[in-house]
Structure 1
């Protein structure tokens, strides 16, 4: 058993390293690893290798990112961003928090954090430079907002963790997960603005630079073709916003399946407005879908060959269980600074089950602490958000942005696990 488990874990480590240093999607590598470890080495038929393919998560991610893609394609996202910027009206110090709020909302309604970063960071860095706001602070607040939003009940990681917890028979509280990560994001962003200093005393124009977001991602900050105040939402955008209201109400109040509801709303919008729907299909986060389904399928192979049980018992053997929980959070933080946060959570969360079974650790508190620990580091220069921030920083500021993001990520890689573990796990309150 130990040989099989160590081999399987080594393959998982190789998959993560290869995905980090090469352009190959982590999920694609994980599917290959599942076939090699489960099919070739374990002798499982293909049907069994794919036995843990997460069909429910597939529908949820496709449905929600499809719906979000329609909102981005038809300009609904543009209008929300423009109107939010206009609400600032000269308050430079408020800009980082405007970006935080936008990032939280966009990720909270199902936006892929990477796609949201592509939308917000180019315009954010440009507006920061133009209006005396430190670009480093804007980059951090966008990243922390994404962390808060993506753990919402409709967010990508919120959906992912719910699927893992319920699939493993572990307790789960979606509202507490969102509230805790939101608080962690606000605290981290607030600490950054205080310690770094958010803005120089330069006034912000009451008519900010209009945002131009292309359907395929990316944004421009040049002059818009029409300098007049932004037009009304219009029928199509109003209907799109109404679809999100229906999604939230249906999922949270009436317990309608989120994935199928989002997919149904997206299909109805596509039938009504085909142009936006066609563009949105290309904007579905297929890379994220491939990553999640691949790593979950491989973890299923590890569960069947006893690797998860072996690793969980090894972790549970560390005394006391609270110390083992802290080590899991630290591992998640350190590795996620360089690799996929989703991949880390999918791999680590099932290994926490033996700790929960000891009765010394809460399933809800531990998974939230692990989520916070693994996601606060997502602004590291080696992550998508961090790399985009550096790419969009002005040349004279690029080095300072790199150093600042590195220092921030290194700090939260230690403070995040310690703080979340102390509050959510060690106290036993959750």
Structure 2
């Protein structure tokens, strides 16, 4: 889950407040967040202590190489935990830390040269991220995304309770084509929240539907997350079905959205007390694409054909489509290049490189064998779903996917668990918790509500995210792992 330091507290008038004044509500939220972070760190430390305990004990019996961690393995593992703690507490890109740690441990501790350290650098995934974000930065700039949203909203024809489902499907469509989940939420949240106020729909309900929709399409064969999970699984020797992963993600997020509507209806929170005209919602612009927008829609169709039918690499296809579109906007080239998600490029490249280093020295295999010794594989899969779900509420879900999916390899090799089902359950558990206000997507929802509603929405989103953390990993595991449906 991408992190943000976006402040969602109401902004006070600075002329009436001294610079040393601390908003007690903001301080209370910070204290609550710090307590949650400390609890998460304590849980991670306890898990590490449980796993490394046998290797640190002064036993005279020779240790089984597959049952305990060596000193050479403990140090990189501790560094990994420290990286997550630092990235959770401060806005430092964990990918940069991963690359630096790969160099420091690989070169000075393990005697590896730069070619060996970068042997598993994820070039294809990096190219995919650059290509799709480059193209969609132009699609956003020329208004194509806005046209798609307005046309979809017109389809409800006054049936206001259909609006959340419209934005769910639009968000799913955007992410399934390659838009990042936070980017899709950023594109849709202003208009969606505006329509929610005008139609008396609870803004939290609308926000939850946007985020769930973004996650529903987030593991398509064209999306960065889908390519990431598929490639990591392939590299670790347990291929998963890209289409099955997409369908599972869509189905579980759809179920969560249905459950959300039921809970809101039971609590009488589907609608707010009164509606109001909202400037962002009063849009009378044409919904017909024009000029470059038609050209962009044609290119999106060509991209789908090339990637899904011809099986061409989506990274090269998206870059090619982006180049064709860029030739019509020579003066805006810097804006388009700036639209590439460079922070995600660093995050993915750094984390996969570092986890590959851990795999090279046997950390992943040893941890997996330790986990297998704790109980039945099917229960271990449930534990992995909850650990990655809870961790993703405070850290990057992309980074956690790169770290946790390799752990499933040994688990799957010695059990009859469904490969695609187990990997999908772990991946979905990592992303559905992005409704947390500590995530970029959750913070964007809070930021787009009225200023007078932000504190209340923040608290409500916290409670909603807590419920999702409790329910979603178990739901993913229950539907995908024991059933063997995938």
Q: 1:57 to 1:132 in 2, by over 3 A?
A: same
**Are residue 199 (structure 1) and residue 271 (structure 2) matched?**
yes
> In 1, Cα distance between the equivalents of 2:103 and 2:295?
44
**Are residue 87 (structure 1) and residue 159 (structure 2) matched?**
no
> In 2, Cα distance between the equivalents of 1:126 and 1:250?
36
What is the CA distance between 1:180 and its match in structure 2?
0.9
- 2:451 alignment partner in structure 1: 395
Assess if the C-alpha contact under 8 Å between 1:74 and 1:236 holds in 2.
yes
Give SS of 2:379's match: helix
- 2:132 alignment partner in structure 1: 64
Cα deviations across residues 249-289 of structure 1 (Å, max 9, x unaligned)? 11111111111111111112212443455422111111111
Assess if the C-alpha contact under 8 Å between 1:266 and 1:277 holds in 2.
no
What is the CA distance between 1:16 and its match in structure 2?
1.2
What is the CA distance between 1:85 and its match in structure 2?
2.1
Larger CA Rg, structure 1 vs 2 = 2
- 1:2 alignment partner in structure 2: 70
- 1:384 alignment partner in structure 2: 440
What is the CA distance between 1:179 and its match in structure 2?
0.9
- 2:19 alignment partner in structure 1: none
Assess if the C-alpha contact under 8 Å between 2:437 and 2:461 holds in 1.
yes
Give SS of 2:291's match: helix
**Any unmatched runs of 5+ in structure 2?**
1-68
- 2:62 alignment partner in structure 1: none
- 2:470 alignment partner in structure 1: 414
Assess if the C-alpha contact under 8 Å between 1:107 and 1:146 holds in 2.
yes
- 2:61 alignment partner in structure 1: none
Q: Which moved more, 1:237-246 or 1:120-129?
A: 120-129
What is the CA distance between 1:155 and its match in structure 2?
1.4
What is the CA distance between 1:204 and its match in structure 2?
9.4
Assess if the C-alpha contact under 8 Å between 1:366 and 1:421 holds in 2.
yes
- 2:304 alignment partner in structure 1: 248
> In 2, Cα distance between the equivalents of 1:400 and 1:349?
36
Give SS of 2:345's match: helix
> In 1, Cα distance between the equivalents of 2:130 and 2:427?
22
**Any unmatched runs of 5+ in structure 1?**
210-220
Q: Which moved more, 1:1-10 or 1:298-307?
A: 1-10
What is the CA distance between 1:203 and its match in structure 2?
7.7
Assess if the C-alpha contact under 8 Å between 1:66 and 1:284 holds in 2.
yes
- 2:348 alignment partner in structure 1: 292
Cα deviations across residues 56-78 of structure 1 (Å, max 9, x unaligned)? 11111111111111111111111
Give SS of 1:426's match: coil
Q: Which moved more, 1:68-77 or 1:119-128?
A: 119-128
> In 2, Cα distance between the equivalents of 1:357 and 1:292?
26
**4+ residue stretches of structure 1 with deviation over 4 A?**
200-205, 275-278
> What is the root-mean-square deviation of aligned Cα atoms in Å?
2.0
> In 1, Cα distance between the equivalents of 2:352 and 2:161?
42
**Are residue 371 (structure 1) and residue 427 (structure 2) matched?**
yes
Cα deviations across residues 198-254 of structure 1 (Å, max 9, x unaligned)? 33586899xx96xxxxxxxxxxx2867xx4x41631231111111111111111111
Q: 1:275 to 1:202 in 2, by over 3 A?
A: farther
- 1:361 alignment partner in structure 2: 417
What is the CA distance between 1:82 and its match in structure 2?
1.8
Instruction: Kindly report which structure 2 residues correspond to 1:322-341, keeping only aligned pairs within 5 A, or say none.
Output: 322-341=378-397
> TM-score of the superposition, structure 2-length normalised?
0.81
What is the CA distance between 1:392 and its match in structure 2?
2.0
**Are residue 302 (structure 1) and residue 358 (structure 2) matched?**
yes
Assess if the C-alpha contact under 8 Å between 2:195 and 2:281 holds in 1.
no
> In 2, Cα distance between the equivalents of 1:414 and 1:327?
12
> In 1, Cα distance between the equivalents of 2:441 and 2:110?
38
Assess if the C-alpha contact under 8 Å between 2:230 and 2:239 holds in 1.
no
**Are residue 122 (structure 1) and residue 173 (structure 2) matched?**
no
Give SS of 1:234's match: coil
Assess if the C-alpha contact under 8 Å between 2:198 and 2:281 holds in 1.
no
Q: 1:204 to 1:81 in 2, by over 3 A?
A: farther
**Are residue 148 (structure 1) and residue 216 (structure 2) matched?**
yes
What is the CA distance between 1:113 and its match in structure 2?
1.3
